């Protein structure tokens, strides 16, 4: 019997960061010592207060369904957080809590897009954005960005792309893969576009220079994606949220009821503890990441990579490697096989990052130092000069 997969499922391309990691794991299992700089996976353990809160929640039997939008206590804490940090007033009814931001993106794009509708995405940008849009029936429209701008979209580059089918612009600050941030003035300009803004703010809390801004400071006609995975080292807990204009919440809630029901009850209790008790933990993680960031940028430049701007947030450096190989996937796999260092090819993030490599500094400082030494040896073996 032949079982045919849907045409829509074939629109989603492989996630190359995962492909590199999976190949690295195979090599690891065969006895190679691999240094993993390919994924945005914090190496810190989840803060103790979160562990204690979820343990207590389990002991109290918090294993039942919750309200489809999430525990009211958690949604109230999210509202308080946005008021305290950004001066933004939102109400719990605007918040939908789910099992990470990925399912919320799927619901949001499905709610916004009819077949053939367009959503403007930054190029380069998070590798999975286009797949979400295509699977929801939409057309991803790439806005090419410049390294000098930190690969962030600008009003003057977005406006010409608007058509009668445009349903929104997605922004990501701090960004993946570039680690850049949008200033308040830049967000204000984008907020004046006559389309909704979808702001992926999953890396908020991990900014080292400059000031974080929420798009809701500049417009109410926006959707905000946020969560606990990155800043609170909770990737495997799967806890995220969506802040929506009130007029759109009911549609999104019904989709959530049908497709996801609710986030795990006891994990939501952990989210409450994160917001109430763990800001010092986040500050310490941020301090350590900042040390790693500075060292990685310094060494990459010594090795001849083009770091055209210093990342100011998240935990990534997008480095220009076109002087070594214009094919970033080929170069990434060659570095993995010959140097034992896993890095992500820039093409994963769009044509605008082809020839670049993304390095993640979510590994201990000594591993980053060792990874750079291995890559230096690799470059020397290829006869490529370095500055060190």
Question: In the block, which residue shows the tokens 């060190």?
Answer: 388
Report residue 8's pLDDT band, with 50, 70 and 90 as the boundaries: confident
pLDDT digits (tens, 9 = 90+) for 151-175: 999 999 999 999 999 999 999 999 9
Contact residues for 72 (Cβ-Cβ < 8 A; gap 6+): 92
Mean pLDDT of 243-268: 98
Question: Quick check: 253 pLDDT over 70?
Answer: yes
Question: Quick check: 387 pLDDT over 80?
Answer: no
Question: Quick check: 249 pLDDT over 90?
Answer: yes
pLDDT above 90 coverage of the chain, percent: 94
Rounded to 10 degrees, what is the CA torsion of 170, 175, 180, 185?
30
User: Domains, the chain, ranges and CATH?
Assistant: 8-45+280-381 (3.90.1150.10), 48-278 (3.40.640.10)
Mean pLDDT of 340-361: 97
Question: In the block, which residue shows the tokens 């009003």?
Answer: 155
Q: Could you tell me the CA-to-CA distances from 256 to 84, 168, 260, 323 in Å, in that order?
A: 28, 21, 5, 47
Q: What mean pLDDT value characterizes the chain?
A: 96
pLDDT digits (tens, 9 = 90+) for 294-330: 999 999 999 999 999 999 999 999 999 999 999 999 9
**pLDDT of 299:** 98
Question: Quick check: 89 pLDDT over 70?
Answer: yes
Terminal alpha carbon distance of the chain: 60
DSSP assignments along 194-258, one per residue: SS-EEEE-TTTT-B-SS----GGGT-SSEEEEEESTTTTT-GGG--EEEE--HHHHHHHHHHHHH
Question: Quick check: 334 pLDDT over 80?
Answer: yes
**pLDDT of 129:** 97
Rounded to 10 degrees, what is the CA torsion of 343, 349, 353, 357?
0
Provide the token pair at 20. 């590199």
**pLDDT of 388:** 61
How far is Cα 384 from Cα 126, in angstroms, rounded to an integer? 30
How far is Cα 52 from Cα 136, in angstroms, rounded to an integer? 39
């Amino acid at each position: 019997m032949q079982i045919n997969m849907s045409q829509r499922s074939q629109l989603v391309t492989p996630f190359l960061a995962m492909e590199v990691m999976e190949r690295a794991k195979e090599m690891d299992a065969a006895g190679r010592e691999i240094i993993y700089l390919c994924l945005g996976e914090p190496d810190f353990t989840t803060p103790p207060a979160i562990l204690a809160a979820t343990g207590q929640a389990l002991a109290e039997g918090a294993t039942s369904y919750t309200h489809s939008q999430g525990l009211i206590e958690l949604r109230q804490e999210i509202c308080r957080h946005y008021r305290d940090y950004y001066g933004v007033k939102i109400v719990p009814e605007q918040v939908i809590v789910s099992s990470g931001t990925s399912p919320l993106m799927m619901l949001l794009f499905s709610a916004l897009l009819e077949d053939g509708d367009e959503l403007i995405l930054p190029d380069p940008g998070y590798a999975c954005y286009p797949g979400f849009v295509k699977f929801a029936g939409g057309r991803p429209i790439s806005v090419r960005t410049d390294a000098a701008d930190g690969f962030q979209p600008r009003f003057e580059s977005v406006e010409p792309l608007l058509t009668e089918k445009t349903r929104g612009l997605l922004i990501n600050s701090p960004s993946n893969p570039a680690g850049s941030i949008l200033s308040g003035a830049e967000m204000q300009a984008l907020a004046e576009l006559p389309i909704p803004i979808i702001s992926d703010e999953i890396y908020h809390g991990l900014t080292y220079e400059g000031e974080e801004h929420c798009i809701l400071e500049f417009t109410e006609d926006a959707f905000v994606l946020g969560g606990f995975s990155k800043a609170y080292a909770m990737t495997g807990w799967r806890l995220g949220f969506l802040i929506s204009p009130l007029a759109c919440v009911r549609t999104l809630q019904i989709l959530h009821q049908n497709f996801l029901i609710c986030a795990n009850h006891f994990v939501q209790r952990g989210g409450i503890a994160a917001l109430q008790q763990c800001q010092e933990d986040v500050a310490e993680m941020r301090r350590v990441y900042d040390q790693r960031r500075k060292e990685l940028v310094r060494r990459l430049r010594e090795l001849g990579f083009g770091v055209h701007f210093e990342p100011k947030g998240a935990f990534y450096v997008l480095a220009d490697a076109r002087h070594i190989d214009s094919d970033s996937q080929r170069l990434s796999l060659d570095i993995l096989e010959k140097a034992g260092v896993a890095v992500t090819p820039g093409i994963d993030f769009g044509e605008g990052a082809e020839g670049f490599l993304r390095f993640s500094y979510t590994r201990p400082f000594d591993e980053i130092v060792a990874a750079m030494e291995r890559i230096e040896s690799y470059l020397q073996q290829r006869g490529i000069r370095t500055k060190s």
